[in-house]
Amino acid sequence: MSNKPTWIWYPGDFEVWLGNRFNNRRTERGSMFPPFWKQDAHWPTVEFTTTAELADDEDISIAAEGDYNLAVDGKLQTDNRIPQGRHRLSIKVWNQASPPALFVSGRSIGTDDSWLTTYEDKIWIDENGVAHGAGIYVHAGSWNFDSPDTPPSQYRLLRRQLLPVGSEPIGPSDSHDGSDVEAATGMLYDFGREVFGYLILTRQEGTICVYYGESREEALDKAHCETLDILRPGHRQPQSKAFRFVYIETAPDGRYADVLMDFEYAPSTAAAPATAAAALSAVSPSDPPAASGSFRCSDPLLNRIWEVSAYTLDLTTREFFVDGIKRDRWTWSGDAIQSYLMNYYLRFDTPCVRRTIRQLRGKDPVTAHVNTIMDYTFYWFKSILDYYQYTGDTHFIGEMWPRMVTLMDYVLSRTNSEGMAEGRPDDWIFVDWTDFPMHKRGTLCFEQILFCKALETMDACQRLLNSRGDTAPSAPPHQNYATLAASLRRRIRSTFWSKEQQAYLHAVEDGLLLNTQVTKFPNMFAILYDLCDNEEERQQILHNVMLNPAVAPITTPYMRFYELETLARMGRHDVVLAEMRAYWGGMLGLGATTFWEKYVPSESGLQHLAMYGRPYGKSLCHAWGASPLYLLGRYFLGVSPTKPGYEEFEVRPQLGDLEWMEGDVPTPRGLIHLHIDRHQARLQAPAGHGILCLPDGQKIAIEAGKEAVIDYNGK
């Protein structure tokens, strides 16, 4: 029973439904472009139930999304009065269009996630006419829909109007449409930096063609820009798009007065500049939410990298964490796990993490890997372990456990005779977009290391739930995940580790280690995911692979995330800072207002915009470009939870070549604030047991709620 009732639904179903709306909004030059994988549906009929102990009769109000009934102690009611005493309330809601959802409020009765729910109550009647129920009940899902007037199906992000910061008439020679049509002229509008939302044309009439561009070149290339809107009389308004530039042409019958936009953003980010002037003057969020992370240091370039990273992550933090806002606009597990980690150092928007994890998993039966990509299935497991470490939220582990089990069952049903995860014809083995030849045939070492971490996640979560006596009621018989993980770990080492090359080699093909290519991928994960159990091997990997210029370089920010994390983990903060300035600084030097899907420093001009064989195929605002948020918070400010949910934590600052730095790291209990220069560290933490580990070897226990000021020898 709750004093604050809220809308409830079958857990995961809100995300399944919202995810379908979200993922189907992708367009390619005006055509809708749904995902390649199975999209699930919510349960159309759901029962919600609770037991109430009432001192007096109580009238309840019921709001439902869908048709509903009310039963008390199994008997259908014709009014909403619950008699005094102990009673079981059951409310069935049916809705095929959006998830059945329920909001009940009374003097003492109110819907919240203590209510139970099922999609099959499995009532049956025995030979004596007595009804039995064998339904599997789980805790209801809920969020913050706390008024009967805000049902979940009405969920929307926030919006704020923005004006362009400049406009420019375009003559025939400036726009390209690849045809010989008598050239029309139009107007180019510049919103100052990458934005996301709905273009608005006031007093719009007739036919108007709108071409969007993340770059000026893209907006002006009518034949190749990735997104466009042809607005015809009576046609719908522009749909949400990502752009900095908009090029508009009108047909003879077309006209409009002003151009502006509804900038759309997640409440946690509050990232929209309030005015067009603000959009020009600052790339940093104008009103960061109170509990957000921050970073400032003595190097203005790094500060700008952090700010543009924050804006990039804010733009890609939407109903879900999305990969890129222009083109894909789908949830991708490999991208999302990085967004989650960055988010733990920026907005700590854990509802969005949970939503994305639920959405990516979808529902049973499992018919393919997450996003059809084997690696992405393994990241999905690991992301739950990360979530638990940062939040300490065991409730969510319990919610996800049954779906973790069935997804792992799918993985285990497809292993080869060595117990390894080998790609089958319908599996996508992704790893990374590489600019060097790398086959993905056979059994890749990289995949096995991720698989091993996924098994270890299963083991950790199972032990956690067991220790709390909280094994999810619907969990099938468990595997011994610890044994499977230990066995796989041994096999990976014995199969792929080369003593000669002091590296993990690429792949087994046809039963033999035929592909002895050395790439950074398995080697860095061997360090990050704790496959290496001795320092000697780690050092060998560091020097023979990670710092070896003969090993092909990584060219996506995606895998640079792990590459730089590995270097930081190995204490090479100097290299990390140098790479950050060169790589992310390189994008800034090219005018980036958000960070990109891919960046190859050796390319030039329009090459920077092309990808997938399309001249503007590259996303210029891609979540995985924002990794400095994580790297600076986790390895320079040095803040990390050592027990789940920051019950215990460590602050191990590393200045590298910086003179000073300061920043905030959000935790479930509030912000940890650190300021450090070469002589003194000042640390304040709101709660938890913290240890400050200074570069000179000092370890100081932090008293919660009180600023610690520690002098140290910073050389």
Please identify which residue in 40, 190, 214, 323 interacts with its own copies, judged by CB under 8 A: 40
How far apart CA 317 and CA 267 sit, in angstroms, is: 10
In sign, the C-alpha dihedral spanning 109, 111, 116, 122 is: positive
The SS3 call for residue 121 is coil
CB 610, min distance to its own copies, A: 12
Q: Give the nearer residue to its own copies in terms of CB position, either 44 or 586.
A: 44
Q: Give the nearer residue to its own copies in terms of CB position, either 193 or 403.
A: 403
Three-state secondary structure along 470-482?
Answer: CCCCCCCCCCCHH
Site string for its own copies, 76-105 (x = CB under 8 A): xxx-------------x-x-xxx-------
- Within 8 A by CB and 6+ apart from 223, the residues are 176, 177, 178, 179
479 near its own copies (CB under 8 A): no
CB 92, min distance to its own copies, A: 5
9 near its own copies (CB under 8 A): no
CB 39, min distance to its own copies, A: 5
The SS3 call for residue 541 is helix
CB 607, min distance to its own copies, A: 16
711 near its own copies (CB under 8 A): no
Asked whether 691 and 703 are in contact (CB, 8 A), the reply is no
Angle, vertex CA 544, rays to CA 539 and CA 548, nearest 5: 125
Q: Give the nearer residue to its own copies in terms of CB position, either 35 or 151.
A: 35
Site residues (CB under 8 A) for its own copies, limited to 51-80: 67-71, 76-78
Q: Give the nearer residue to its own copies in terms of CB position, either 156 or 706.
A: 156
Site string for its own copies, 422-461 (x = CB under 8 A): ---xxxx-----x--xxxx---------------------
Estimate to the nearest angstrom the gap between the alpha carbon of 172 and the chain centroid.
42
DSSP string for residues in 509-536: ETTEEEE----HHHHHHHHHTT---SHH
The strand ranges marked E within 412-504 are 443-444, 497-498, 503-504
Q: Give the nearer residue to its own copies in terms of CB position, either 63 or 301.
A: 63
Q: Give the nearer residue to its own copies in terms of CB position, either 40 or 249.
A: 40
- Within 8 A by CB and 6+ apart from 604, the residues are none
Pick the piece of the chain touching its own copies (CB under 8 A) from 36-44, 205-213, 563-571, 578-586: 36-44
How far apart CA 371 and CA 404 sit, in angstroms, is: 16
Site string for its own copies, 109-128 (x = CB under 8 A): ----------xxxxxxxxx-
DSSP string for residues in 332-379: -HHHHHHHHHHHTTTT--HHHHHHHHHHHH--SSP-SSGGGBHHHHHH
The SS3 call for residue 15 is helix
Angle, vertex CA 419, rays to CA 417 and CA 422, nearest 5: 80
Site string for its own copies, 365-384 (x = CB under 8 A): x-xx---xx-----------
CB 653, min distance to its own copies, A: 41
Q: How many CB atoms lie within 10 A of CB 245?
A: 24
Q: Give the nearer residue to its own copies in terms of CB position, either 59 or 659.
A: 59
CB 178, min distance to its own copies, A: 14
155 near its own copies (CB under 8 A): no
Please identify which residue in 258, 591, 612, 657 interacts with its own copies, judged by CB under 8 A: 612
Side-chain half-sphere exposure of 149, counting CA atoms within 13 A: 0
552 near its own copies (CB under 8 A): no
235 near its own copies (CB under 8 A): no
**Residues near its own copies, by CB under 8 A:** 17, 20-21, 24, 28-45, 67-71, 76-78, 92, 94, 96-98, 119-127, 129, 134, 364-365, 367-368, 372-373, 425-428, 434, 437-440, 612-613
